[in-house]
């Protein structure tokens, strides 16, 4: 009886050890946004990512982690009324390039959930760096750049950034009023989301993105 009890205890100990090891080795199933985008560049990709909301409108929100940013979209979801800027959310869905911008589409609203809150700081665009898909949807900023070309009829303002240019733009009426007031040579400091809108632009979300 004693021998049987010892064997039973030994089996239980091994089972607990294996269980503990398996929990350590199992992946969480969450990838960085950059990893998801890279994978989607070569094949259809389904991924689970986590990021902090930096903007929302209608059926979409933009989220960003430490590696990249992406648009979360689902028709009819009204995500912008559910999640606010600063919410940290987990999203499972299909990752693909849509109209030159990266997007993750969940199958339903149940594939998106708030798991906390966070903060995203704008990254300074280095001198001589041109915007591209590598920075798609990321919150970035410019500091003390001179206006090279004043606003056109579409509210595009071109700033000189060393050997290249940065175009700033906005859908917000208050920002557009400010954009049209800029003169050649004015110094601009502003932040916004990098987006492809008939070219790569720094899109100011609202007048609070005007830093100077």
What are the pLDDT digits (tens) for 20-51?
Answer: 333 323 236 899 999 999 999 888 889 999 99
Distance CA 199, CA 165 (A): 12
Using the predicted structure, report yes or no on whether residue 102 has a pLDDT greater than 80: yes
Alpha-carbon distance of 83 to 81, in angstroms, equals: 6
Distance separating alpha carbons of residues 146 and 185, to the nearest angstrom:
5
The residues facing 56 across adjacent strands are 61
Question: Token pair for residue 36?
Answer: 């998801």
The pLDDT-based confidence of 1 (bands split at 50, 70, 90) is very low
Q: Would you identify the CATH topology of the domain 123-209?
A: OB fold (Dihydrolipoamide Acetyltransferase, E2P) (2.40.50)
Burial 66-85 (b: 16+ CB within 10 A, else e): ebbbbbbbbeebebbeebeb
Task: Between 1 and 50, name the one with better pLDDT.
Answer: 50
pLDDT at 4 over 80: no
Residue 11 or 113, more confident: 113
Cα–Cα separations (whole angstroms), residue 87 to 16, 47, 51, 113: 37, 19, 8, 10
Q: What is the pLDDT of residue 28?
A: 61
Report d(CA 40, CA 67) in Å as an integer. 15
Q: Which of 139, 144, 164 is nearest to 63 (CA)?
A: 139
Q: What percent of the chain has pLDDT over 70?
A: 87
Q: Where in the chain is the domain with CATH 2.40.50.140?
A: 123-209
Place of tokens 């080795």: 25
Give Cα separations from 173 to 12, 31, 63, 169, 207 (angstroms): 67, 37, 24, 11, 9
**Other C-beta atoms within 10 Å of 156: how many?**
18
Residues of the chain with CATH 2.40.50.200: 33-117
Give per-residue pLDDT as tens, 160-212: 999 999 999 999 999 999 999 999 999 999 999 999 999 999 999 999 999 98
pLDDT value of position 21: 33
Question: Contact 62/52 with Cβ under 8 angstroms?
Answer: no
- The mean-pLDDT minimum among 40-44, 60-64, 116-120, 202-206 falls in 40-44
Mean pLDDT of all residues belonging to the chain: 88
Q: Which CATH superfamily is domain 33-117 in?
A: Bacterial OB-fold (2.40.50.200)
> Residue length, the chain?
212
Helix (H) / strand (E) element for 32: namely none
Percentage of the chain surpassing pLDDT 90?
Answer: 83
- H or E element in which residue 174 lies: helix 173-181
């Amino acid at each position: 009886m004693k021998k049987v009890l010892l064997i039973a205890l030994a089996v239980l100990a091994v089972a607990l050890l294996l269980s503990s090891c398996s929990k350590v080795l199992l992946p969480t199933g969450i990838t960085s946004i950059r990893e998801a985008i890279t994978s989607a560049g070569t094949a259809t990709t389904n991924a689970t990512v986590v990021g902090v909301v930096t903007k929302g409108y209608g059926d979409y929100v933009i989220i960003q982690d430490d590696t990249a940013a992406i648009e979360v979209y689902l028709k009819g979801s009204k995500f912008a009324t559910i999640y606010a800027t600063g919410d940290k959310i987990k999203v499972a869905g299909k990752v693909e390039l849509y109209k030159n911008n990266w997007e993750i589409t969940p199958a339903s609203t149940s594939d998106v959930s708030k798991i906390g809150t966070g903060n995203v700081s704008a990254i300074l665009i280095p001198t001589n760096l041109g915007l591209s898909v590598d920075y798609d949807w990321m919150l970035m900023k410019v500091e003390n750049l001179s206006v090279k070309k004043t606003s056109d009829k579409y509210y595009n303002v071109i700033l000189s950034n060393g050997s290249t240019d940065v175009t700033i733009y906005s859908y917000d009426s208050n920002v557009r009023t400010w954009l049209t007031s800029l003169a050649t040579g004015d110094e601009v400091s502003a932040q916004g989301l990098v987006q492809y809108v008939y070219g790569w632009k720094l899109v100011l979300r609202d007048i609070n993105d005007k830093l100077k």
